[in-house]
């Protein structure tokens, strides 16, 4: 199919949809300068994930893990939303309650681009939470807390992200899966779709008969299943298909 025709079809499908779910991963922030996890230039190439992104690692070496998150907070705070994030904020303006953005990203760039209906499945790097009680600190502070003792219960404060082997927030997960089962269209952007349970979200939309559009630099299991797949940078494709050029 001619390239322009694919763009036109995806654009029309989105223009006609009353309910759209967008599911994003690290690739949407790559053009903002945030490293992805896997693939060329991915974080996991330089670090052993299991050494840092697990509860066991944090229990073993909390200072090292906090240091790693402090560095990543600094990097992410210095990045800016790109054309893909901005296009999604525009789409939300048009659809209102018919829109839901489900992100695996912890970088806060969707919120900074103006998106509001966001489900952050893997947490947020700028949030600090207590490992033992519900105490939480939010904000765009670049620096992690100097004292990592919980002021409420004396437990240890940790980054507010979801590590391997940890359960995702059940309420957020239900919200994400039920919106995906009900939407007319789902756009999946910048995810290798390797990490469960989040990676099953596009499958739920496919099974429910939604028009599924994938925007990802490399092929994934979804590439052959989606109605339209674009293997081009998100910052080029999204403004073109959501009509926010």
Binding part of the chain for ligand BJW, among 4-12, 56-64, 193-201, 203-211 by CB under 6 A, reads 193-201
Residue 130 interacting partner from Zn ion, ligand BJW, none (CB closer than 5 to 8 Å by kind)? Zn ion
CA distance 150 to 201: 35
239 forms part of the interface with ligand BJW (CB under 6 A): no
The yes or no reply on residue 216 touching ligand BJW (CB under 6 A) is: yes
Whether residue 122 lies in the annotated active site: yes
Among 155, 173, 203, 243, binds Zn ion (CB under 5 A): 155
Instruction: Note the maximum CA span of the chain.
Output: 61
Contact between 229 and ligand BJW (CB under 6 A)? Answer: no
> What is the nearest approach in angstroms of ligand BJW to the Cβ of residue 65?
9
Beta bridge partners of 158: 129
Residue 153 binds to Zn ion (criterion: CB under 5 A):
yes
Q: Mask: binding to ligand BJW, 20-39, rule CB under 6 A, as x and -?
A: -----xxx--xx----xxxx
Long-range CB pairs of 170-179 (<8 Å, 24+ gap) are 172/119, 172/120, 172/121, 173/121, 173/197, 175/100, 175/119, 176/100, 176/102, 176/119, 176/121, 176/201, 177/201, 177/204, 179/19, 179/21, 179/100, 179/102
Q: By three-state DSSP, how is residue 156 classified?
A: strand
Binding site for ligand BJW (CB under 6 A): 25-27, 30-31, 36-39, 42, 53, 104, 106, 122, 161-162, 164-167, 190-192, 194-197, 215-218, 233-234
Q: Report the catalytic residues.
A: 122
């Amino acid at each position: 199919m001619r390239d322009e025709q694919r763009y036109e079809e995806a654009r029309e499908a989105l223009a006609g949809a009353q309910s759209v779910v967008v599911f994003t991963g690290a690739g949407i922030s790559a053009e903002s300068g945030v490293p992805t996890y896997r693939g060329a230039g991915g974080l996991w190439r330089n670090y052993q994930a299991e050494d840092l992104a697990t509860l066991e690692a944090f229990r073993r070496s909390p200072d090292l893990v906090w240091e790693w998150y402090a560095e990543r907070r600094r990097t992410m705070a210095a990045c800016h939303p790109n054309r893909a994030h901005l296009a999604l904020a525009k789409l939300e303006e048009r659809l209102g309650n018919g829109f839901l953005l489900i992100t695996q990203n912890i970088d806060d760039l969707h919120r900074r681009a103006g998106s509001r209906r966001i489900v952050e499945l893997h947490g947020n790097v700028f949030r600090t939470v207590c490992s033992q009680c519900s105490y939480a600190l939010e904000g765009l502070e670049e620096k992690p807390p100097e004292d990592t003792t919980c002021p409420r219960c004396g437990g240890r404060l940790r980054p507010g992200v979801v590590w391997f082997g940890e359960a995702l927030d059940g309420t957020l997960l239900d919200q994400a899966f039920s919106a995906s089962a009900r939407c007319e269209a789902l756009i999946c952007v910048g995810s290798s779709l390797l990490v469960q349970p989040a990676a099953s979200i596009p499958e739920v939309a496919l099974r429910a008969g939604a028009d599924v559009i994938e925007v990802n630099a490399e092929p994934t299991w979804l590439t052959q299943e989606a109605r339209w797949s674009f293997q081009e940078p998100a910052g080029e494709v999204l403004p073109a298909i959501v009509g926010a050029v």
